[in-house]
Structure 1
Amino acid sequence: MPRAAGQIDPKKSEAILEAAQDLLSERGLQVSMAEIARKAGVSKQTLYNRFPSKTEIGQALARRRSDAITAPLREPGDPLRVLTGFARAMIEKVCAPERAVSLRGVALMSAEAPEVARAVYEGGPAESLRRLSAWLAQQHAEGRLVVRDPDAAAEMFSGMVLGHAHLRHVMGVPHPVFDIDAKAQDAAIRFIRAFSA
């Protein structure tokens, strides 16, 4: 079925983001918008209509990652199950070996393009913290947990889950092997004990 005038094809946007992720991971900000369009199989005009600059691309990629990490927060369930799912998603998205290159790339670009790094942070990690904080505030309001400062608690939980994983990835230091499910559940159990109602 043909699209109506002005209707955006989500498959093209997804192709652009996939191409951008691959190219930015390989070459950082040196990659051109024309190269991203070519790899995505779209015209430069289509690319610029959806993402006017690499800043918007970076933010969209970070937002997509944040959506995946925070998906468990949108599911009903007891706090242990939800936090375990959130922790597992965070570990999988941050600690996966293929993510090391992109984390390193973001760290390196922060000096040469602080506006891109800020957009990536706001669209990804900061957004994930905001969503976790809002979920924790809701748990507090509903009497499931006692979380008087949900922003601080969200940062605490993220730190418990990741530890130094992101630093190891940025620095290219091998990460110890561990059981993702066990680590995710352990962090959730300890956090809930600390904030139990």
Structure 2
Amino acid sequence: MPRIAGQIDERKREAILDAASELLAEKGLAVSMEEIARRAGVSKQTLYNRFASKTDIARALAERRSDLITAPLRTTEEPEVVLTALARAMLDKAGEPDQKTSMRGLALISPHAPELASAVYDAGPGESLRRLAQWLAEQDRRGMIRVPDPALAAEMFTGMVLGHTNLKLVLGVDAGVTNIPGRASETARRFLRAFATMSEG
């Protein structure tokens, strides 16, 4: 059965993003668009048809990572199950070798390429925070928990999950997290206790 054009386009897009992720981890921003096209097995024209610059590629990578991490928010599970899964996803991603490298690289180049750093933050961590805030607002609306300021609560949850992990990543210090399932579960439980409704408290 022949593949339709949309499937082929999506496959090429993913190949480009996979290649870019590998090369950015290896070379940082020194990597060229030509190298990305070659690693992805596509022509330069195909690459530029989809991404006009490395900033566009970095933004797309951040968006893809945000989609993966926030997937639990798109389920209909109970709040504790959702937040535990979200915390696990955050901790799993934070510990990946390419994430350690990219975080350090982004921190180093951000003073010289603020537009890139801003694009990556907005499409990645910033978007994840917005999605979590929207989810928390919905739980408040449904009476599941009491969250007067969903945006602030989303930042609190992220801080509780990662702790100093992000700082260790930027500094290049070992950021290995032990007992991720236990840490994720404990964080979700304590967070929900802090925002419990009066009847639950």
The TM-score range, normalised by the shorter chain, is over 0.9
Which residue identity does 2:189 align to in structure 1? I
- 1:156 corresponds to which residue? 156
3-state SS of 1:169 partner: helix
- Does residue 145 of structure 1 match 2:145? yes
CA distance in 2: counterparts of 1:193 and 1:99, whole angstroms = 31
Judge conservation of contact 1:28–1:109 (CA < 8 Å) in 2.
Answer: no
In the other structure, the counterpart of 1:136 is: 136
Aligned length: 196
Q: Which amino acid aligns with 1:50?
A: R
**Deviation of 1:176 (Å):** 5.0
Tell me the amino acid that sits aligned with residue 92 of structure 1. D
Q: CA separation of 1:80/1:33 partners in 2, compared to 1, >3 Å: closer, same or farther?
A: same
Shift of 1:7: 8.1
Give the unaligned 5+ runs of structure 1.
none
Mapping of 1:177-192 within 5 angstroms?
177-192=177-192
Taking a change above 3 Å as real, the CA distance of residues 26 and 64 of structure 1, as seen in their structure-2 partners, is: same
Q: Is the 8 A contact 2:69 2:90 kept in 1?
A: yes
1:12 equivalenced with 2:12 (yes/no): yes
Give TM-score scaled by structure 2 length.
0.93
- RMSD of the TM alignment (CA)? 1.4
Structure 2, unaligned stretches of length 5 or more? Answer: none
**How do residues 1-197 of structure 1 correspond to structure 2 at under 5 angstroms?**
1=2, 3=4, 9-175=9-175, 177-197=177-197
Percent identity over the alignment? 59
Does the 8 A contact of 2:161 with 2:184 survive in 1? yes
TM norm structure 1: 0.95
The one-letter code of the counterpart of 2:20 is: A
Instruction: Check whether the contact 1:129–1:155 (CA below 8 A) recurs between aligned residues.
Output: yes
CA distance in 1, matches of 2:149, 2:90: 21
CA distance in 1, matches of 2:91, 2:13: 26
Displacement of 1:95 after TM fit?
Answer: 2.3
For the residues of structure 1 that align with 2:56 and 2:186, how far apart are their CA atoms? 36
Structure 1 ranges of 4+ moved more than 3 A? none
